[in-house]
C-alpha cells in the first residue's frame, strides 16, 4: 500500500469547501450523454451553488453496472475521449467522477479528479464486490493505493463504494492527513440496509475524525432500483442530512466544509423513463 496524490500541508489551515453532490441518472453505455450530464451539472453547481468541488457517482461516465461492455476495446477509447473533453471544458469547480481505467494489463474501477483543466488524481477501488447482484471481480482488479489530495486548500481522501465498508481505506486516508472523505457509490436500494449504512458512516467519521460525503447513483437499471438517500457526516459523527438540502460540516479541528446538493433528475417521477442515446455503436 502506498499513498499517492498531492500531500496535505502539515500545518493545515482550516477553510470552507463547498461540495456539491451530483446524484444523477447516468445511463449505461451512453458515454457521450453522460459526459454532457457531468458538464451541465458542474456548470450549474458553479453558478447556482458556487461549488468548489462537484462529486459524481461511481462509474458515472459508463453508467452502472456496465458489465460486458467493459470487455469491448472501443469502450476504453470512449472513456479516454470523455476524460479529455472534461479537461478541456472550463468547468470552474474541481470534479470527482467515476470511470473504468486501464493501467497496464489491468482494468480498475476508478475515481478521477479533474481541476483547472488537469487530471490531478486517480483512485482505484480496493474492494470490488462479488456477491448478490455484484460481479465486479469478473472485470476489475483490486487497487492498492491510498489517495489524498489538496482540493482548494482542504486535504481530501477518495474511496469508492465497497471500500467504505471495509477496514483500511478510510483509516489509511485519515492517517495520511485527509480531513474529508469523498465516497462514490452506485448502491442498489435495500430497505434493510439503511440503518446499517447510517451507523457505519457515523462510526467511521467518529473513529477517524473525518467528515464523509456519500454520493450515490439514482434511477433504475434492468433489475436494479438504485438508492436515493444522501448523507453528510460530521465530527462527532452526526447524520446531518438525508434529503437534498444544505448543511455545514465542521470537525473538531475547526476545519469546515459547507456542503450542498445539486438538484437530481428523478428518473421515476419527474422525467420520461428514457433519454435518446448516441447512435454510434461502441
pLDDT in tens, 64-99: 889 999 999 999 999 999 999 999 998 999 999 999
- Within 8 A by CB and 6+ apart from 77, the residues are none
Q: Is residue 247 part of a domain?
A: yes
Rounded CA-CA distance 206/222 in Å is 37
Domain that holds residue 71: 15-261
The alpha carbon dihedral of 12, 202, 213, 127 has a sign of: positive
Alpha helices, DSSP H only, in 97-231? 169-175, 194-208
- Whether residue 85 is contained in a domain is answered as yes
Number of domains in the chain: 1
The answer to the question of residue 267 being in a domain is no
pLDDT tens digits along 115-172: 999 999 999 999 998 776 678 889 999 999 999 999 999 999 999 999 999 999 999 9
The active-site residue out of 60, 115, 136, 161 is 161
Residue 35, H or E segment: helix 31-49
Residue 42 domain-assigned (yes or no) = yes
- Asked whether residue 218 is assigned to any structural domain, the reply reads yes
pLDDT at 32 over 50: yes
Whether residue 37 lies inside any domain: the answer is yes
Q: Does the predicted model carry a pTM greater than 0.75?
A: yes
The Cα–Cα gap between 145 and 172 comes to 10
Does some domain include residue 170? yes
Q: Could you tell me if residue 125 is inside a domain? A: yes
Quote the CA–CA distance of 99 and 56 in Å, as a whole number.
Answer: 10
Q: Could you give the CA distance from residue 79 to residue 88 in angstroms, rounded to a whole number?
A: 14
Active-site annotation holder among 125, 136, 204, 264: 125
Apex CA 157: angle with CA 151 and CA 161, to 5°? Answer: 125
Clarify whether 125 is annotated catalytic: yes
> Which pLDDT does position 197 carry in this prediction?
86
CATH number at residue 167: 3.60.110.10
Amino acid at each position: 500500500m502506498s499513498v499517492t496524490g498531492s500531500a496535505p500541508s502539515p500545518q493545515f489551515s482550516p477553510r470552507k469547501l463547498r461540495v456539491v453532490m451530483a446524484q444523477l441518472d447516468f445511463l449505461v453505455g451512453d458515454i457521450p450523454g453522460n459526459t454532457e450530464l457531468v458538464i451541465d451539472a458542474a456548470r450549474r453547481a458553479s453558478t447556482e451553488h458556487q461549488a468548489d468541488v462537484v462529486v459524481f457517482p461511481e462509474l458515472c461516465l459508463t453508467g452502472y453496472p456496465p458489465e460486458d461492455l467493459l470487455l469491448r476495446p472501443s469502450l476504453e477509447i470512449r472513456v479516454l475521449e470523455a476524460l479529455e473533453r472534461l479537461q478541456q471544458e472550463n468547468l470552474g469547480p474541481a470534479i470527482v467522477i467515476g470511470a473504468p481505467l486501464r493501467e497496464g494489463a489491468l482494468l480498475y474501477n476508478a475515481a478521477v479528479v479533474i481541476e483547472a483543466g488537469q487530471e490531478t488524481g486517480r483512485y482505484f477501488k480496493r474492494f470490488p464486490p462479488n456477491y448478490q447482484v455484484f460481479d465486479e471481480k469478473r472485470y476489475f482488479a483490486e487497487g492498492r493505493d491510498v489517495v489524498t489530495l489538496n482540493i482548494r486548500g482542504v486535504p481530501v481522501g477518495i474511496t469508492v463504494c465497497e471500500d467504505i465498508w471495509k477496514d483500511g481505506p478510510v483509516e489509511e486516508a485519515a492517517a495520511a492527513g485527509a480531513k474529508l472523505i469523498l465516497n462514490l457509490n452506485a448502491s442498489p436500494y435495500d430497505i434493510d440496509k439503511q440503518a446499517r449504512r447510517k451507523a457505519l458512516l457515523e462510526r467511521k467519521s467518529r473513529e477517524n475524525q473525518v467528515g464523509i460525503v456519500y454520493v450515490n447513483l439514482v434511477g433504475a437499471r434492468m433489475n436494479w432500483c438504485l438508492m436515493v438517500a444522501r448523507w453528510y457526516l460530521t465530527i462527532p459523527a452526526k447524520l446531518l442530512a438525508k434529503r437534498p438540502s444544505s448543511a455545514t460540516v465542521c470537525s473538531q479541528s475547526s476545519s469546515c466544509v459547507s456542503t450542498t446538493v445539486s438538484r437530481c433528475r428523478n428518473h421515476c417521477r419527474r422525467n420520461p423513463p428514457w433519454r435518446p442515446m448516441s447512435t454510434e455503436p461502441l
